[in-house]
Amino acid sequence: MKNKLAIFEDYKIRRAYDDETETWYFSVVDIIQALLQQPDYQTARKYWNKLKERMSKEGSESVTNCHRLKLEAADGKKYLTDVASPETLLRLIQSVPSPKAEPIKLWLAKVGYERMQDMADPARSLDRAREYWQQHGRSEKWIQQRMMGQETRNKLTDYWKDHDIKKETEFAILTNIIHQEWAGVAVKEHKKLKGLKTQNLRDHMSEAELIFTALAELSTRQIAETMAATGMPENKVAGKKGGGIARKARIDLEEKTGRSVVTGENFLPPGRKKISDK
């Protein structure tokens, strides 16, 4: 978990990056304070406590999706603090009457969350992603495989959403199960192997790694559909089975070629220390 301050106007917004979910989590109270234009932190904290209580009684998923992480306070000590992903924050912001609501939404996008805008226009996301990969020297063949893999991923996550998998942490757990099964390493270990920190692992996969990831996720979805898997326990089973199918194919290919599919290859800028293959 990586901590870093972000600035909105004169307000410091604490945040933490989760490697497993590849997501920034922002302090909810800090966002509330900026929305209210309130210099007193304790006033913002009391406002959030009352809002959280009201939304909990209403059964709001936004409150359920908030997590607690240790963030550094003004006194230099770390305390458990309510945090939320940008997607959850968008819904929370709508519950706070403030002229700063739209500016904060735009600010969230500028600090790396264009994906929230893409929810309303998926084509926008695809065009920007293709342009980004082209600018970073990816081949058309790699880009095609990356986009096909993303489509496979989206179909799987859509299935999860429709079958009682709602929280980002649950998505991360299931994703890691599938990855561990096919690759033999967890997502975090795979990123470490490639020398990555906050970068997206899939953006640094080889063509073979992308193909086996897609095979594992395609197999998982089809098995889940056959099982009518619902909830975490059943989808964990489907994830293990789906990842296992890709693992068998990976091992078979490695035996035939004598080369490891999972490698330390990446697309990091020149000058970074090269990590050898697994």
Per DSSP, the residues of 3-62 read EEEEEETTEEEEEEEETTTTEEEEEHHHHHHHHHT-S-HHHHHHHHHHHHHHHHHTT-HH
Residue 271 located in a structural domain: no
Report how many domains make up the chain: 2
Same domain, 105 and 128: no
- Please, what sign has the CA dihedral across residues 66, 35, 18, 160? positive
pLDDT at 77: 86
Say whether both 163 and 126 belong to one domain: yes
Residues 108 and 129 in one domain: no
Alpha carbons 163 and 39: distance in angstroms, whole number: 43
Residue 91 lies in a domain: yes
pLDDT of residue 278: 38
Same domain (yes/no): 133, 202? yes
Looking at the structure, tell me whether residues 73 and 200 fall in a common domain. no
CA distance 168 to 83: 13
Find, among 132, 152, 130, the residue nearest to 141 by Cα. 130
Residues 194, 103 share a domain? no
pLDDT at 119: 47
Q: Is residue 274 part of a domain?
A: no
pLDDT of 257 reads 97
Which of 116, 144, 169 represents a domain boundary (last residue)?
116
The type of residue at 110 is K
Q: Are residues 240 and 155 in the same domain?
A: yes
Walking along the chain (278 residues) 10 residues at a time, the average pLDDT comes out as 69 80 84 90 92 87 84 86 88 86 79 51 65 86 92 93 88 96 96 87 94 98 98 98 98 97 90 44
Q: So what's the pLDDT on residue 120? A: 45
pTM of the model: 0.61
Q: Are residues 8 and 86 in the same domain?
A: yes
Indicate whether 277 belongs to any domain: no
Give the structural domain span for 13.
2-116
Spatial separation of the C-alpha atoms in residues 215 and 221, rounded to whole Å? 10
Last residue of a domain, one of 56, 87, 116: 116
Q: Are residues 136 and 155 in the same domain?
A: yes
